Structure 1
Amino acid sequence: MQLKANNPEEYISQIPDERIPYFEKLRKTILENIPKGFEEQMNYGMISYVVPKSIYPAGYHCNTELRLPFANIASQKNFIALYHMGIYANPTLLDWFIAEYPKHCKRKLDMGKSCIRFKKAEEIPFALIGELMQKMTVTEWVELYEKNTKK
């Protein structure tokens, strides 16, 4: 479910009313915990956290016009999603997240490669998401990205 929005506030105004408080809290959690250097913007119809071109001029290899993506949040049809590229690219970080998740949430982890799905917005483990966002700096993300894409 891609929403047409020019900024995060416009995006949030279009999601179902019952999700807004949780979605706003998720966004706030990310903004308060993401390391300096990442920027918030709209990308692929989602709220995105990216490496700016001033730090990584090469951009995203799939479309070099775009800034290097790191994380995204979206309100999908049946869930709120957090897409975290660091989890996808770093098996140690993924293992940490999988081990920590049950300590923060009773519900079984519903996850794809980089997509964490929250079907019950009231059960989003905000403290864990905050910790996750702190686990990788811009420099670490760029190094990992280059290592994984320039094989």
Structure 2
Amino acid sequence: MSAQNTPESGNLLKSFQPYKEKKGEEYMNDRQIEHFIQILLNWKKELMEEVDRTVGHMKDEAANFPDPADRASQEEEFSLELRTRDRERKLIKKIEQTLNRLDEGDYGYCDSCGVEIGIRRLEARPTATLCIDCKTLAEIKEKQLGH
């Protein structure tokens, strides 16, 4: 199984090109919005292709091994793949929610304080809803509460 090629896993999408801002350009203008729509749609497409590959792999590889160790090994492999696909399914849902935010004009602004999240942070984490300061503060609070 190949590593995911997504912004949040540390890899860039195959077709990713960093956004080049023009001097004096307005934040979240039409060009920037289109840039992030393409990132999100490409990312979703790659995740969906991975789901299809997993289904095909599990159908092709499913075998009823007489040896309990072989059967357990295969079940563990399938279980790991299914957990990965479940995380990706949740990520696809988050991508769809982010696309809705883009449609509604809420994308790119912190849910907590309302400041601009920033182009580079959004390229690194396209589904981000908090600016780096609010995210850092939330993580500190989370550690203090032991969650």
| TM-score normalised by structure 1 residue count | 0.25
Relative to its length, the structure with more helix (as a share) is: 2
Larger CA Rg, structure 1 vs 2: 2
| TM-score normalised by structure 2 residue count | 0.25
Relative to its length, the structure with more strand (as a share) is: 1
